[in-house]
């Protein structure tokens, strides 16, 4: 049997913009400290994709225009981070998120250039809406056949449009916006011959799906996607099915080096203070190509993990399964089977998505 595996990592940021992280983690331990437990996952797959939640700029050279009116402004060291990402064998990053333009349009342009220099592709943002809306396309090996197209979206927020100018237009750079209605969105280059994956950055921080996120899922469910794999809330969210499209609302933080507010919101809203590293796998059998998704929960609370996210132990895996159990019958009613499993990488939920 032939197999091809794609790793999806949610929110990724080394944390230079947080003084404590810069001083106590990056300066003391270096940039590979945070990814120590992720690296076996990176080594086990054929393609590696993450949501890069930062521009790559020197803040002295490209000052942020939002210093006084945006709560958190990110930046990543251009002398270090591009090569670190290249050394991790990252193939492509989504730039569709609420930090990509923290240093304005010049910051976006520099980020794209720095990544291009080390051979990393970008999607979800660009110099105009055509570039921002274009998918990252992976041609699967000939033994499997076909291709995977991955689309980046950043949920539409009026403030990020009218005040921050984060969204791309016909001749302006920015992110690919996700609207409540499909009619409001730029036409999607969805091919019936591809497996089409939506990779949206959406949802309220440290909350379960609600409001705008639930409205915007309609657009993705109606667009012709085969899978929705979201991120942006900083915590592990649940899942559902709409129009036979499996929707995983949020895989949470991948490697996101901020102190975080997990304890506060865990007490208030009962959130799951975890992320998940996700592997989408295609296996060619005798009759058809089947594909499945494996969700490996990881500890996302840096205050407890020592700023090294790692796969959860069995006790915490059981807690996660118990909380998400109410979401499983809807998936199973649509023929999508979910199993508890464990392999050399750790405990995970294996989601059988059927045959292509």
Write down the pLDDT at residue 277.
98
pLDDT at 286 over 70: no
Report pTM.
0.97
Write down the pLDDT at residue 187.
96
pLDDT at 41 over 60: yes
Query: Percent of the chain having pLDDT more than 90?
Result: 94
pLDDT tens profile 287-308: 667 899 999 999 999 999 999 9
Cβ–Cβ < 8 Å for 337, 353: no
- List helix spans (H) across 241-327: 262-269, 302-305, 314-324
| DSSP codes, 131-172 | HHHPPEEEEPPTTT-SEEEEEEEEE--HHHHHTT--B--SSS
pLDDT at 44 over 80: yes
Measured between alpha carbons, how far is 12 from 53 in angstroms, rounded to an integer?
6
Write down the pLDDT at residue 61.
97
Write down the pLDDT at residue 290.
87
Spell out the residues 6+ positions from residue 199 whose beta carbon is closer than 8 angstroms to its own. 8, 49, 51, 94, 96, 124, 150, 151, 152, 153, 229, 230, 231
pLDDT tens profile 56-104: 999 999 999 998 899 899 999 999 999 999 999 999 999 999 999 999 9
Write down the pLDDT at residue 288.
67
Q: Using pLDDT thresholds of 50, 70 and 90, give the confidence band for residue 259.
A: confident
Q: What is the mean pLDDT of residues 315-333?
A: 95
Phi and psi, residue 241, nearest 5°? -130, 135
pLDDT at 165 over 90: yes
**Residue whose token pair is 């959130």:** 271
Reading the block at residue 257, the tokens are: 């080096």
Cβ–Cβ < 8 Å for 153, 178: yes
pLDDT tens profile 177-211: 999 999 999 999 999 999 999 999 999 999 999 99
Instruction: List the domains of the chain with CATH numbers.
Output: 2-355 (3.60.21)
């Amino acid at each position: 049997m032939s197999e091809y595996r794609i790793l999806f990592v949610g929110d990724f940021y080394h944390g230079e913009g947080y003084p404590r992280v810069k001083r106590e983690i990056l300066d003391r331990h270096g940039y590979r400290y945070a990814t120590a437990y992720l690296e076996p996952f990176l080594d086990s797959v054929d393609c590696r994709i993450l949501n890069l939640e930062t521009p790559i700029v020197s803040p002295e050279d490209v000052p942020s225009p939002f210093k006084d009116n945006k709560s958190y402004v990110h930046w990543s060291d251009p002398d270090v981070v591009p090569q670190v990402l290249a050394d991790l064998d990252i193939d492509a990053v989504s730039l569709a998120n609420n930090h990509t333009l923290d240093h304005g349009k010049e910051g976006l342009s520099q980020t794209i250039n720095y990544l291009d220099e080390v051979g990393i592709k970008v999607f979800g943002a660009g110099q105009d809406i055509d570039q921002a809306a274009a998918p990252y396309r992976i041609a699967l090996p000939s033994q499997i056949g076909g291709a995977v197209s991955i689309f980046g979206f950043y949920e539409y927020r009026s403030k990020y449009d009218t005040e921050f100018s984060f969204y791309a237009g016909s001749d302006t750079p920015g992110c690919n916006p996700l609207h409540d209605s499909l009619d409001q969105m730029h036409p999607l280059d969805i091919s019936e011959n591809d497996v089409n994956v939506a990779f949206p950055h959406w949802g309220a921080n440290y909350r379960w799906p609600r409001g705008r996120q639930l409205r915007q899922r309609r657009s993705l469910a109606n667009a012709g996607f085969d899978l929705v794999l979201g991120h942006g809330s900083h915590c592990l969210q649940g899942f559902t099915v709409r129009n036979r499209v499996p929707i995983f609302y949020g895989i949470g933080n991948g490697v996101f080096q901020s102190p975080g507010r997990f304890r506060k919101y865990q007490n208030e809203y009962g959130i799951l203070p975890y992320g998940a590293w996700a592997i989408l796998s295609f296996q060619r059998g005798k009759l058809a190509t089947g594909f499945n998704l494996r969700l490996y929960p990881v500890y996302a609370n840096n205050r407890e993990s020592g700023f090294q996210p790692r796969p959860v132990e069995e006790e915490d895996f059981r807690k996660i399964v118990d909380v998400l159990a109410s979401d499983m019958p809807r998936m199973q009613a649509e023929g999508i089977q979910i199993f508890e499993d464990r392999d050399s990488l750790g405990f995970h939920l294996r989601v059988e998505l059927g045959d292509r």
